[in-house]
């Protein structure tokens, strides 16, 4: 079954870049972990969850995806190098959607890549969407998982979900 709902989840609040710390090794902060968990629990309470979950291999995204699985938001986690910054997520999306075990596929990644992917899928210019840390973009795929073939259902900021 091909996924018809695409959920784009940005990683939670992470350590600031600093000398001696590789970008891929930046972990979620304590606040980032707790806020991400609260967002995912709220999404579950609203009846929104994922049947499949792919994550960037960078530590902060992987930790976000692990929290999603621990919270029961998604059944399991797989890593996809194409979700790392400047990856080729759009090219892989049709294959990922086809392999999804249900109707909703979640991708955990980074900015500006996720909002750029969403903009491309809905046919909007790049830079028109802004996804906050631990925020979610929900898209409905109307045809192939390709540029211009989706409808924006919601863009949910953590502050809105946790208010």
Task: Give tens-digit pLDDT for 122-157.
Answer: 999 989 999 999 999 999 998 888 888 899 999 999
β-bridge pairing 104-109 and 78-79:
unpaired
Cβ burial of 86 (10 Å; 0-12, 13-18, 19+) is: exposed
Residues 6+ apart with CB under 8 A from 69: 53, 75, 76, 77
Model pTM score: 0.96
Chain centre distance of CA 128: 17
- Contact criterion met (CB below 8 Å) for 11 and 61: yes
Question: H-type helices in the chain, by residue range?
Answer: 30-45, 59-70, 89-99, 113-122, 158-161
Counting the structural domains of the chain, the total is 1
Q: Which two tokens stand for residue 109?
A: 């990644």
Structure-token pair, residue 16: 């600031």
| Residue closest to 131 by CA, chosen among 94, 160, 100 | 160
Phi, psi at residue 141, to the nearest 5°? -80, 125
What is the domain range of residue 126? 5-161
CATH number of the domain encompassing residue 20: 3.40.50.1240
6 pLDDT band, cuts 50/70/90, is very high
pLDDT in tens, 73-122: 999 999 999 999 999 999 999 999 999 999 999 999 999 999 999 999 99
């Amino acid at each position: 079954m091909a996924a018809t709902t695409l959920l784009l989840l940005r990683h939670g609040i992470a350590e600031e870049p600093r000398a001696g710390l590789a970008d891929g090794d930046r972990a979620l902060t304590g606040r980032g972990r707790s806020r991400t968990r609260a967002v995912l629990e709220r999404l579950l309470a609203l009846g929104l969850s994922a049947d499949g979950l792919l994550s960037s291999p960078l530590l902060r995204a992987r930790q976000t995806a692990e929290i999603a699985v621990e919270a029961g938001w998604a059944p399991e986690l797989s890593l996809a190098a194409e979700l790392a910054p400047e990856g080729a997520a759009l090219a892989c999306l049709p294959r990922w959607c086809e392999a999804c075990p249900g109707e909703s596929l979640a991708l955990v990644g980074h900015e500006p890549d996720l909002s750029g992917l969403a903009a491309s899928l809905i046919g909007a210019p790049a830079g028109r969407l802004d996804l906050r840390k631990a925020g979610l973009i929900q898209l409905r795929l109307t045809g192939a998982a390709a540029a211009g073939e989706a409808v924006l259902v919601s863009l949910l900021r953590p502050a809105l979900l946790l208010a």
